[in-house]
Structure 1
């Protein structure tokens, strides 16, 4: 099949069984990994970026040639940079200084204008807090007005969860021959889990929210210790629009160390070079197979590429 542009390749990523990981961890059951880090922007956010821009162009809220602005940890921005570049929209990415430099460099290489927002007082480089994200949001709102731009709004636009209800989840279901019993995902905007859960609930698949230990705002309503190295989520936001009505079975917590160790395990045993949130998803899936999903089949998403973390402590 020949696609008209690279946008057409933002779907149908492979599904791989992590049998070596399961053996190494002594798990009873199966883990299937959806390799969205192989999409053109090296992350699952390509799907949401495509859906949001295509929906906005279709309903007229995004005019031809109009600028697009969005806050991003780098993955949504990369997807938007690709889609906007192909479709002729200038794109401005607004990102915290706490995110890895590889993300900003990739977006600039793809033609995006990148605005870096200094972190909140007390924040640590490499760890983006809810306070940091609030500063990025303020800057994105200001730039949207100044540029007369369309705000992609990944935290609010329904195109985000819709992309996973109509794409990610049905792909996993078909590729697994309907054998999965559970799905879990690290919560950033909540779009992946919110959309996937709507599809999976119709097939009896149980879905779980994954958050950083100490920043379990969705599970507990507050964050005791919001600092963690898992970029792209875990912002200690107690209310995510995409998860408000999602049919969620339960909540799981992982530490930054667990996410790091499991990402390294993926690389060593399965040859999957993914990032922190992918490690968090694997750690959570292993916890499920040791507990409520013992003997089951858990699906997870490999959210982004390990190449985006070479400047961090993930690969030291």
Structure 2
């Protein structure tokens, strides 16, 4: 399906949507209540989750050595002493700051996994986005030049809060162009957007401007990925797909810390968008510690055993 191209935000109606917060919250509760993952299916869902993780380190003290260790963990997420023969999998991507992209590329190439695991990097004045557009675009180009295959850009949230939608649209369009062949993942910073309607409209504008993924958060906000926000973004993705025939991915990030959190997000995505979205091409979980939580849970429940 050829992707629709939008020259301006006037090409798609955006102002005929009304979102009732109480209804959204109650619908999330209903979805989870009616779609409980059974104990016998839990392991399969969690193994799927591992393949959807963007294994992330965004610390000020990141070094080449700890980035290389993270890459090995992404390549071999299940310890060999507890691996089943069928557990030949890896995470979807490794996500780092721009200057650490060469370390990721080198590590993945050494393991011959450069075509299997994506190299993601944050850019555009992460996490605030409050930098001149010219420097944000140059940061994207430099990061792609370092070898990143996916760029997680952060929008200037003040443009949403002040209703400068056309400017937001134009900025994301330019970010998409600066990405070249790299995928564009647009971080909305949902915890700072004020309303569910702002989240919905920002989601639609990001997709219209060329986003390959829309992402909830930087992980640095006080409020990050929540399931009601996820439902709003899923509905935006579904509406955009119905109108254009183009599938855009979703990446929740920040605050997904438990096995139950993980299962809840998988259930939400499956029920709202269907099984086609439960692939690394259309769904990612941004996390730094979640992989260890999943592995420890599977160990404790004897769902991974020695082969």
TM-score, reference length from structure 2: 0.28
TM-score, reference length from structure 1: 0.28
Structure with greater strand percent: 1
